[in-house]
Structure 1
Amino acid sequence: MPIHIYWGEDDFAMEKAIANLRDEILDANWTSFNYTTFPPDYKNAAIEALNQAMTPAFGAGGRLVWLMNANITTLSDDNVLSELQRTLSVIPDNSYLLITSPNKPDERLKSTKLLKKLAQFREFGLISPWKTDLLLKSVNDAAKSLGMRLTPKCAEFLVEAVGNDTRLLYNELGKLQLYLLDSNQPLDVDTAAQLVRNSTQNSLQLAGAIRMGDTGKALSLVADLIDAYEPSLRIVATLIGQFRTWLWVRIMMETGERSSQAIAQAAEVRNHYRIKYLQQEVQFLSVQQLISCLPILLELEVNLKLGAAQTLTLQTKVIELCQICQKSRQ
């Protein structure tokens, strides 16, 4: 299919897919003639890209036109829509148009509806931090693609260490691959722990300090994470995932549910044996306290995405969260 729409926040996975698409379409000897990119700041980028895609490829291989970070599927534009209607159905078979965007296509737009009929859509979404089963599958799939074998405990450790950061996952696996060289033995957790910095574990320690209402320890952990150059949004993602899990466990406890399997399923906890530990962790917190923490975490995420000062914003919201959790111990 000559038209591809790639969208989602996992830019690393998208970059890999784009590289594969380039290799599949382009002939290396004719790349300079047949490969064109249109960045978002290019004047009339969408219309120029569509016009370029109408040109048949020169020489061997196909033509690839990449319209980067485009808003065709998220913003209504009559001029662009008219050009889409004119060109999409008559793009030459050996000319390919790639449109990328970090945002989900708006199904209500006429441009999106038109592209749905003629294009191949592919999502590159980040896995939610609390979906540990999908994260575990992602780690094992990535290791398999690199020709590596991991012990189950090692795979679980990597999930804790990298979370849903695909770029970091491949970076760490690349480092471990160099260490293993041509060894046929599966990588064990002890070896991985020596080479991979488990920053997510520190973020979980931060969640634990907040749960206990220990403001001093929580602020100290915030400082440690920042000093270790841990991305603030990844810290927040870990906190949101942990508090969401605690909330579901507490809700199930208050409804009288006794089955650890049922609680694990509701809380999306892969290993139901973890439930008894989670129940112990939330025994002094109420459902209302945990619910009150979620809007603060959401506000923290939004403020950081809007460019607020990282250290001050984290410190302020961590103090607020600790104060909520302290109420059960007063």
Structure 2
Amino acid sequence: MPVLIVAGDEEFELSRRVQDLRATLVDSNWASVNFLRLDNPPLQEIIEAAGTLPFGPGNKLVLIDRCELFTKKRSKSGDEGGKSESEGKGKEKDRERLLDDLEKSLASVAANTYVIFACPFNLDQTLKTTKAAQKHAKIEKFEKEKFYVGSPNGKLSSWCRTEAKRHGATIEDQAITYLLDGTEANLRQIAAEIEKAAIHVLPGNHITYQAVVQLSPYHSHVFALADYWLSGKGKEALASAEELLTRQSAMPIIATMQTMISKWILMKSLCEKFNHDLPTPPGVLRRELPMNELVRRVAGELKAKEFMIEKDLKRISKIPLERLIEKRLDLTRLENSIKTGMIPESHALQVFLAG
């Protein structure tokens, strides 16, 4: 099918797909005349471009880049967004005519002309433009996978293994976890790190956790910040936060800390429950399970990998459950203060770490 809609908020995979299509469909010797890129054009321009033919041998590729036709973020002439109600009504007939023309033009695209709509937003299939186009187009979705720091994600882990395979390598599970957590599942950054690690381990072909840690620029990421905070190293925690703030705003850091603390509270609560449920012989005040047994039970309860659970349980081993609950409440109050404009987000993070 010569018409393709690639849509989704996973920008890296979408852009890689577009690059692959261009390399496959267009003869590089004729690319200057047979490749046309239009940046979110109005409907009339798309209709005209869809009717063009290749010059010389091979195919022609018309790329409608950063297309907003099939999402609610549309704004250009012929779209349905960004208009007042009266203006929208006044141009309704013109819009319907353009949609009819779009559908006809896509239905009659020449066999060696390819029209690709690259949409950096998730597809909205309720829109008239989407309904008109999808009758004659193949749709490929590239939606960002939901990811929560510290939680296993089979789909993203599989993606990392496939990415390593692109470079003729395999990769350890622990290395995958480190990259996913350290980049908050930023696939573009992970792909760059895997490529770098695959080259580093040559002539071998197995990417280890140690290799990734050695090469990765994320030593000062939020997990190092959390480690400093848990161990009471306030000065180091503040320095780590300052370094992180040069790369991103404070809110994602605060949100990640909130997620981590909530997870630690759950893990700590499970450990206390497992220990409390142990039968206690007469004269013994308290029994505790050994670390390896706690790891096994908590991992089973949370359906997580044991090495991840062991790492977190060691992190929080000396922190009372009550302290974690108190700090989560503090962080929640600070988040509310940020949202109401009472305190700047970077200052709120510093207050939390210093407290």
Fold match (TM-score > 0.5): yes
The residue aligned with 1:5 is 5
1:273 aligns to 2:309 (yes or no):
yes
Question: Against the structure 1 CA distance between its residues 180 and 209, is the aligned structure 2 distance closer, same or farther, given a 3 Å change threshold?
Answer: closer
Question: Against the structure 1 CA distance between its residues 298 and 54, is the aligned structure 2 distance closer, same or farther, given a 3 Å change threshold?
Answer: farther
Q: CA offset at residue 291 of structure 1? A: 9.9
Cα deviation digits, residues 117-167 of structure 1 (max 9, x gap): 332222333332435333332222111111112233333333344341222
CA distance in structure 1 between the partners assigned to 2:56 and 2:198 by the alignment: 39
The residue aligned with 2:18 is 18
Which of 119, 140, 149 is 1:122 aligned to? 140
Tell me which protein shows more helix as a share of its residues: 1
The residue aligned with 2:44 is 47
CA distance in structure 2 between the partners assigned to 1:18 and 1:270 by the alignment: 35
The residue aligned with 1:97 is 115
TM-align CA RMSD = 3.8
Which of 196, 213, 223 is 1:204 aligned to? 223
AA aligned to 1:86 is K
Which of 155, 168, 175 is 1:154 aligned to? 175
The residue aligned with 1:296 is 335
Which of 217, 229, 241 is 1:222 aligned to? 241
The runs of 5 or more residues in structure 1 that have no matched partner are 304-311
AA aligned to 2:349 is V
Question: Against the structure 1 CA distance between its residues 5 and 261, is the aligned structure 2 distance closer, same or farther, given a 3 Å change threshold?
Answer: same
Which of 231, 234, 240 is 2:255 aligned to? 240
Q: Contact conserved, 1:54 with 1:91, CA < 8 A, in 2?
A: yes
AA aligned to 1:72 is L
CA distance in structure 2 between the partners assigned to 1:151 and 1:206 by the alignment: 24
Structure possessing the higher radius of gyration over alpha carbons: 2
Which of 126, 143, 148 is 1:108 aligned to? 126
Q: Contact conserved, 1:34 with 1:63, CA < 8 A, in 2?
A: yes
CA distance in structure 1 between the partners assigned to 2:115 and 2:103 by the alignment: 14
Which of 299, 309, 321 is 1:283 aligned to? 321
AA aligned to 2:165 is K
AA aligned to 1:104 is N
Q: Contact conserved, 1:37 with 1:67, CA < 8 A, in 2?
A: yes
Secondary structure of residue in 1 paired with 2:68 = coil
Give the alignment's TM-score, normalised by structure 2: 0.69
The residue aligned with 1:180 is 201
The runs of 5 or more residues in structure 2 that have no matched partner are 81-91, 275-296
Question: Against the structure 1 CA distance between its residues 100 and 290, is the aligned structure 2 distance closer, same or farther, given a 3 Å change threshold?
Answer: farther
**Number of corresponding residues:** 301
CA distance in structure 2 between the partners assigned to 1:22 and 1:180 by the alignment: 31
Q: CA offset at residue 213 of structure 1? A: 9.2
Question: Against the structure 1 CA distance between its residues 83 and 129, is the aligned structure 2 distance closer, same or farther, given a 3 Å change threshold?
Answer: farther
Identity of aligned residues (%): 18
Cα deviation digits, residues 286-326 of structure 1 (max 9, x gap): 399459639939968xx9xxxxxxxx954223146559xx6
Question: Against the structure 1 CA distance between its residues 3 and 315, is the aligned structure 2 distance closer, same or farther, given a 3 Å change threshold?
Answer: same
